[in-house]
Amino acid sequence: MKENKITVVIVCIVFVLMCAYVFMFQVRTTEMAIHYRPPGNVHRVINRPDADEDESGLYFRLPYPIDQVRTFDRRVRVIDGPLAQTQLQDEWQVIVSVFAPWRLSDPVLFEKNLGGNVEIANQHLRDIIFSETSNAISDMTFPNLVSTREDDLKFDELEERIREGTRASIKAKGYGLELVDFGIRRIAIPETTTEEVFERMKAEREQVAETYLAEGRARKQEIVAEAQKRAQNIRADAMAEAKRIESEGEAAEADFYAVFAEAPELAIFLRRLESLRNIAESAREEGAPISFVLDTRSEPLSVLYSGPQGLHERFDPIEDIIREPDADIMEETQEGEEIKRDNTDVETEDNDHN
């Protein structure tokens, strides 16, 4: 009796499992499903990418072949790798390596137009990307892709143009696919044109360098010419000023010589006094006392011994008796006598010191 019960339980379990297999189907989180119902109509699409919430779980269906269910992977796939060789606007050949993540957006269109085949979808999508890339890159020049100047580069503009063009083409063809993103991974130059590219870039850099050198040489000539002109003007002004000062000096010298010619002995006497004054001022600036251990007959101290020699020789004693002495001569003679007395006193003090 117990064995019969166990057998019945097992049969019931198997029957329930078979009914569940026949009348139910499962949709995983990473899948989307199309539920077909006769006569070949789409009854419902489960777990669309644009669904508000996750629709994965168990669903009821009628036994096959009444109802049919097709499931597809809804995860993102990536096309990655180089495309065919493409020509730029300036006739350079490049090979663009891209990446393009994509996923299913409408499984019904995907089933209808591509037969639900992922490999066929990859091939069609690659063809569309290559076509859009060729169209967009044909309007670009080599400096737009490879340049040391940031203003020349147009990578972002190129990627955006290919991205939008690819999305529009996929939508127009009704493949039921969605391009998630697009980017250029690398731009390569064919080996046959690499050397030519380097030579052309070198020539362009040399041309730019020559332009800068020419501008520098022109600027140098301008600066040198301006400096020479200013130097000539300064030299001319200096020469004119020197001549003016020289003329003034010669005029002053002539005046001094005219005055000295009237009384040469007095001029010599004054120069000697000036020498003594310079010695005294130098000692005062240095803060040192003046000590003279010299012969009063040596220059310029001879004035302390002899006084203004020869001054009296200018006057004739007989004429002095005949006529009144000139006032200027008398005044000069008196000054000479006073200086002589002063010199005598200085000499006496100097002898006492010695």
Reported as a single tens digit per residue, the pLDDT across 15-27 is 777 776 667 778 8
Burial degree of 227 (CB within 10 A; 0-12, 13-18, 19+): exposed
Instruction: Give the chain's mean pLDDT.
Output: 77
Percent of the chain with pLDDT over 70: 79
Residues near 185 by beta carbon (within 8 Å), at least 6 away in sequence: 80, 97, 98, 99
Which tens digit of pLDDT belongs to each residue from 238-287? 999 998 888 888 888 787 777 777 777 777 777 778 888 888 888 888 87
Residues 76, 142 contacting (CB under 8 angstroms): no
Residues 311, 343 contacting (CB under 8 angstroms): no
Give yes or no for residue 346 having a pLDDT over 60: no
CA distance 153 to 208: 18
**38 three-state secondary structure:** coil
* pTM above threshold 0.75: no
Burial degree of 327 (CB within 10 A; 0-12, 13-18, 19+): exposed
pLDDT at position 42, please? 80
Give yes or no for residue 130 having a pLDDT over 70: yes
CA distance 223 to 209: 21
- Name the E strands within 74-166: 77-87, 93-104
Give yes or no for residue 342 having a pLDDT over 60: no
Give yes or no for residue 104 having a pLDDT over 80: yes
CA terminus-to-terminus distance, the chain:
166
pLDDT at position 234, please? 92
Mean pLDDT of 195-224: 86
Hey, where are the domains in the chain? 2-73, 77-189, 263-353
Q: Which CATH number fits domain 77-189: 3.40.50.2300, 3.30.479.30, 3.40.50.800, 3.30.1490.70?
A: 3.30.479.30
Mean pLDDT of 322-348: 47
**Backbone phi, then psi, for 17, in 5-degree steps?**
-65, -40
Give yes or no for residue 35 having a pLDDT over 80: yes
Percent of the chain with pLDDT over 90: 10
Buried b (16+ CB within 10 A) or exposed e, 35-66: bbeeeeeeeeebbeeeeeeebbeebebeeeee
Tokens encoding 203: 């020539």
CA distance 71 to 33: 4
